Chain A
Amino acid sequence: MNRREFLSTLGKGAGALGAAWLLGGATRLFAQTGPSAGAAVAAGAYPDLVAVKGGGAAARLDAALAASGGIGRFVRKGALVVIKPNIGWDVRPELAANTDPALVRRLVELCLAAGARRVAVFDHTCDVWRSCYANSGIEAAAKAAGAEMAPGHAESYYQTVDAPGARTIGRAKVHELALEADCLINVPVLKSHGGAGMTAAMKNLMGMVWDRGAFHSRGLDACIAEAARLRPPDLNILDAGKVMLSGGPRGNASSRYSEQRLLVLSTDIVALDAAAAKTFGPGPAAFEYIGLAARAGLGREDLENLAIRRIEL
């Protein structure tokens, strides 16, 4: 599919979505964005947030999905699944600056087993993209499981979107695969971050955008809080296996780490970041963008009022 075809499909899709809305068949359709994901799921049937502790990354993912209705709740047969891990840096997996490749691998396997037509993995990297893909271990893991590694290093991959409510960001260019996806899965790694304090699910979406510099110059917190409006992920899976506590996001010789062996899964990106903030230490109040996003109605930071399923392996 070329970009022109894609844009016309996008237009038709938007029309179809509007028609579905008018018919009133699926009130959760908008929140879920996936083509048919919402219809089958009654609200409240699953926990708002699932956290799994212990075991390996793949086992944590399996347990989290089992408690969330299985991968089939998110990935339908024939779907284009786009996975957005953090692959920002040309560093070894042990340094935990990128998402755990074992987690990406398992996720790709599950998506394909659920009947996905195509699974693509990409990031708009900070270091040279080929080096990041290769040295993070994610390229090998994703390909071994049957996914394709899609490039994100050139402006021509990005389409301008006008997200209502994203006033600080303005018109941003978002990777065409994220826009095209039937199911977009955000798979961030939890770590410290020089600019934002902490990076987790919302901050990871900056890697779907072309002009990252604009986020910094326009106000980092406001832009991060709005990033979830550009193309809301259908599912967020936080890798908090080994958490870089300082020196992030790249990490350096004096970075400190915490072995958390934790995975958190939620469709609510704000709740996920709130849980991440508590795991990271100071809690959601310490990170302005979490409050901004919650007040904008993009999700909930009041974890105490959410249905949380905690699993220890």
Chain B
Amino acid sequence: MKAGRSFRSIARARGLLAGLWLAAFCLALALPASEAPGLVPLAGFLAGTQPFHALERALLAAALASALAALAALAGALVLGRFHCSLLCPLGTCQDAAARAASAGRSARRGPGRRKGRAFGAARLLLAVLVPGALAAGLSAPATLLEPYSIFARGFSRTAGDLAGLALNGLEALGLRIPVVTLRWEPLAFALAALPFAAILAAGSFRSRWFCGELCPVGAALGAINRLAALRVRFDPAACVACGACEQVCRARCVDASGLDASRCVQCLDCLAVCPTGALSYGPGPAKGAGAPDLSRRRFIADAGAVAAGAALALALPAAAGASALPLVRKAPRGASGRLLAAPPGAASVDRYASLCTGCGTCARACPSGVLRHSGAEFGLARPLVPYLDYGRAFCQYECVACAGVCPSGALLPLAPEAKKRTAIGKSNLVLADCIVVSKGTRCGACAEHCPSGAVRIEAVPGRPLPVPVLHGPTCIGCGACETVCPATPRKAMTVAGLAVHETAEPPRKDAPEGDAAPPVEGFAF
């Protein structure tokens, strides 16, 4: 029992740290960057700590920080097993919190079910191989739907985040002097983001961490390592009195008197704090009994078979997708207007970007103007929730590179502000007949006013009674400012179509002499 007491404080410290870590995620993602721009770096940092994307980005972008994060996750797993799931995964801790809230005030027996789950580790391994394999094959949907950070980030933003915004706006309406939070209602994105998140939390309230044990590809991969970790929970059947104490506290539903399923164990150490006999212990080396690495031939063959099946499925997917009549992948995604959708700066190409994006929405959260929104199936059924720029409601800010800076997966590559100002993500198109200067005979110029690159100018043109917009395509970067502000109805005169492959725009024209050095003008003009 002495050991039990010290494990109790370790388990408590773990719970505290996990709670603080989750709180940091919640803080970083609760409000869009338009309301709390100072939190964008925190969101980027936290997203970057999650192992699936860290590995993806390390391989894609050879980014040092991501490589270090991926290596740290691997090294950590080799030493401490699946501790990531109980300490660092926001979706994992969120499920614990939701289960706790759902069972608050009730006895442990009425809390979330903690009975040990069936061991079907092989099936989980299949997912752990299939998800990254499909991503590598350009089909992001499995990762989008199963990668835990992505589920959490967009789910939390669209539920608790938007509710926080509503609450703040309620306080503002009551007289508190705070800025109004701009909230945008996107039914499809809400359904695709909020419902799976809510379902996972609900499931976790009935079967503790159901998602972690049955579906999570990251958990499955870490669970495979768990069986070989240097330090882990061990079970000694000879010392077990089958009191059931461990079963009542196990959040991972991995232990009872029949033994410990190491692939599920998230190393929270709660069981060690309650085991009265020392049948559960923690330490290096092999444990006696069922907790020992199961390297029997049968288990090995099952695991190897699952990995091979996952790999084979992943390899077969592109061919199957190609043969499918369904629009699984759309390399030229189009919006309702029929124009090509634009991908954020840093995407390099729409296909590359959409094939790698798991729709976590961290970029959209970091976007100060709110131009980024989740797609439905515009990029293809196998590429849901990929953010694109919706110029109908806002435009990409010239000085901003936030989205590229926070993308944890490498779907968006970091971009220096000066490079961004020359990166054409789309091109503007001008239909002069729709311009109100021509159709209504009134002065306008809203497009040129907002154009940051000087691609649109208002110029006197022979044969036109009023100065009209003139577009110089090569300098246009497709930021969408002209489209957003064009007042023409029903058709805007200025519209932007995305570029399938991003280009380098010509630098802003310098056809006028620089006047900065002009001497001060003396005297008065009036």
Interface residues of A (CB under 8 A from B): 1-2, 51, 53, 90-91, 126-128, 130-131, 135, 148, 151, 153-154, 156-157, 193-196, 213-214, 216-221, 245-250, 252-262, 274-275, 278-279, 288, 303, 308, 310
Contacts and interface: CB of A to CB of B under 8 A. Distances in A.
B69 interface: no
A252 B505 CA distance: 15
Nearest to B398: A90
A310 B524 CA distance: 8
A277 B306 CA distance: 78
Contacts of A258: 515, 518, 521
Q: How large is the interface on B (under 10, 10 to 19, 20 to 34, 35 or more residues)?
A: 35 or more
A274 B507 contact: no
Contacts of A196: 443, 445
Contacts of B445: 193-196, 216, 220
Interface of A is mostly: mixed
A247 B454 contact: yes
Given A217-B489, A219-B442, A249-B449, A128 B512 contact: no
B399 A254 contact: no
A151 B521 contact: no
B487 interface: yes
Nearest to B370: A128
A194 B512 contact: no
Contacts of B415: none
Contact of B518 (A218, A220, A259): A259
A250 B179 CA distance: 25
A254 B520 contact: no
Interface of B: 34, 37, 173-175, 177, 179-180, 182, 368-369, 397-400, 436, 440, 442-454, 457-458, 485, 487-489, 507-516, 518-526
Contacts of B446: 194-195, 213, 216
Closest 7 CB pairs of A and B: A195-B445, A256-B515, A194-B448, A252-B454, A154-B180, A253-B508, A194-B445
Contact of B442 (A220, A247, A278): A220
Contacts of A91: 399
A253 to B, nearest CB: 4
Contacts of A249: 449
A308 B450 contact: no
A253 B450 contact: no
Contacts of A246: 512
Contacts of B447: 194
Contacts of A274: 526
Q: Which one of A130, A262, A288 has the highest number of Cβ atoms from chain B below 10 Å of its Cβ?
A: A130
Nearest to B512: A254
Contact of A252 (B175, B369, B487, B508): B508
Contacts of B368: 128, 130-131
Given A194-B446, A261-B521, A275-B525, 16 more contacts: A2-B174, A90-B398, A131-B37, A131-B399, A193-B445, A216-B442, A216-B444, A216-B445, A217-B487, A218-B442, A250-B449, A250-B452, A253-B510, A256-B515, A279-B526, A288-B443
A127 B397 contact: yes
A257 B516 contact: yes
A257 B518 contact: yes
A252 B507 CA distance: 11
Nearest to B458: A194
B518 A195 contact: no
A130 B367 CA distance: 12
B100 to A, nearest CB: 36
Contacts of B174: 2
B515 A90 contact: no
Given A154-B180, A219-B442, A259 B452 contact: no
A253 B507 contact: yes
A195 B436 CA distance: 12
A255 B526 CA distance: 24
A131 B515 contact: no
Given A252-B453, A252-B508, A259 B519 contact: yes
A310 B526 CA distance: 9
B444 A195 contact: yes
Kindly name the residue among A252, A255, A274 whose own CB sees the greatest number of chain B CB atoms within 10 A: A252
Contacts of B175: 1-2
Nearest to A252: B454
B447 to A, nearest CB: 8
A246 B520 CA distance: 17
Contact of B526 (A51, A213, A254, A256): A51
B509 A253 contact: yes
B370 to A, nearest CB: 9
Contact of A214 (B398, B399, B400, B487): B487
A225 to B, nearest CB: 12
B196 to A, nearest CB: 31
A196 B458 CA distance: 10
Contacts of B507: 253
Contact of B443 (A221, A253, A255, A262): A221
Contacts of B458: 194-195
A130 B37 contact: yes
